[in-house]
């Protein structure tokens, strides 16, 4: 938790920059420079590149990008700065495996390297796609019956016939019933311990965090927390990290930056 407060303090006391300047003069310009420096080219015909040298160059470019531009706090308009040593230390301290699910449905999910021959963990499900509440359980149940290692939830488009509005009781209920119905889906599939990945039906940290309760998400489930585009955070992200870290939940961090798009914008399309 001390590390979180350290970053929180930086979000209050770092260099202040206008968001448009961060987007155009810092992210865009630096990405353009790094794409050229590390000879990174986007090839739309090669969806999953296996070039190890390209992978190394892309990694080095990513570390340099983050250490140069930092992460933008939208609520304070301040850049949270990180050194290369901090970035590498953080990566070196990450465990390369997690156990997800419980009882007979427990699965070890281990990090895989480029061209790794080991079977990957398969997380099946609608992956946030909008689903009607009337069909929600049956659709998730059909995924759970397959040979998957975990179930990814979808987004409810309504809750008890009502539109879902952010930061209202409808959002809280949608997030809670998303998990209640996902738990029912895996129970019907005969896999009550199967890991669930969520929550997808809400945007606020309060609503997403409300999915943690007896009968809802468990510590053995994967809790999604995503950065904002591009290299940005807000207090909602901090709130979700604090909540999940303190409980001991499995946290799945997603960086929403689309590197191929940035490289194409930088004029390095192959």
Span 160-171, pLDDT tens digits? 999 999 999 999
Express each pLDDT in 42-96 by its tens digit: 888 988 888 899 999 999 999 999 999 999 999 999 999 999 999 999 999 988 9
Q: Annotate 204-241 with b (16+ C-beta within 10 A) or e (fewer).
A: bbebbbbbbeeebbbebbbbbbebbebbbbbebbbbbb
Q: Is the pLDDT of residue 270 over 90?
A: no
pLDDT tier for residue 264 given thresholds of 50, 70 and 90? very low
Identify which of 74, 82, 62, 66 has the alpha carbon closest to the alpha carbon of residue 16.
74
Average predicted confidence (pLDDT) for the chain: 91
Q: Helix or strand or coil: residue 269?
A: strand
As a whole number of Å, the CA-based R_g of the chain is 20
pLDDT tier for residue 173 given thresholds of 50, 70 and 90? very high
Residue 177 contacts residue 210 (beta carbons within 8 Å) = no
User: Percent of the chain at pLDDT above 70?
Assistant: 94
Q: Is the pLDDT of residue 266 over 50?
A: no
- Average pLDDT, stretch 229-236? 93
- Specify the DSSP element, H or E, that contains 59: helix 52-69
Q: How far apart are CA 212 and CA 223, in angstroms?
A: 10
What's residue 25's pLDDT? 92
- Specify the DSSP element, H or E, that contains 169: helix 169-188
């Amino acid at each position: 938790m001390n590390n979180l407060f350290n970053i929180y303090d930086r979000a209050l006391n770092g260099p202040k920059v206008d968001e448009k300047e961060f987007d155009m003069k810092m992210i865009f310009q630096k990405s353009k420079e790094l794409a050229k420096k590390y000879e990174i080219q986007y090839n739309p015909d090669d969806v999953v590149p296996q070039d190890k040298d390209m992978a190394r160059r892309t990694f080095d470019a990513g570390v340099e990008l983050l250490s140069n531009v930092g992460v933008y706090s939208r609520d304070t308009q301040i850049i949270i700065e990180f050194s290369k040593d901090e970035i590498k230390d953080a990566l070196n301290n990450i465990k390369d495996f997690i156990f997800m699910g419980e009882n007979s449905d427990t699965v070890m999910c281990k990090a895989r390297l480029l061209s790794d021959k080991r079977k990957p963990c398969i997380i099946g499900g609608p992956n946030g796609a909008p689903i009607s509440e009337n069909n929600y359980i049956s659709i998730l149940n059909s995924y759970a019956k397959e040979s998957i290692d975990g179930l990814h939830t979808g987004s409810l488009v309504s809750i008890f016939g009502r539109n879902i509005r952010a930061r209202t009781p409808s959002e809280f209920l949608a997030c809670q019933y998303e998990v209640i119905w996902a738990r029912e889906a895996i129970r019907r599939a005969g896999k009550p311990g199967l890991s669930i990945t969520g929550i997808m039906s809400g945007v606020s940290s309060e609503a997403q965090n409300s999915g943690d309760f007896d009968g809802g998400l468990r510590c053995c489930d994967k809790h999604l927390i995503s950065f904002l585009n591009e290299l940005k955070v807000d207090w909602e992200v901090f709130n979700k990290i604090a909540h999940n870290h303190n409980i001991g939940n499995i946290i799945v961090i997603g960086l929403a930056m689309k590197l191929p798009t940035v490289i194409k914008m930088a004029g390095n399309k192959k």
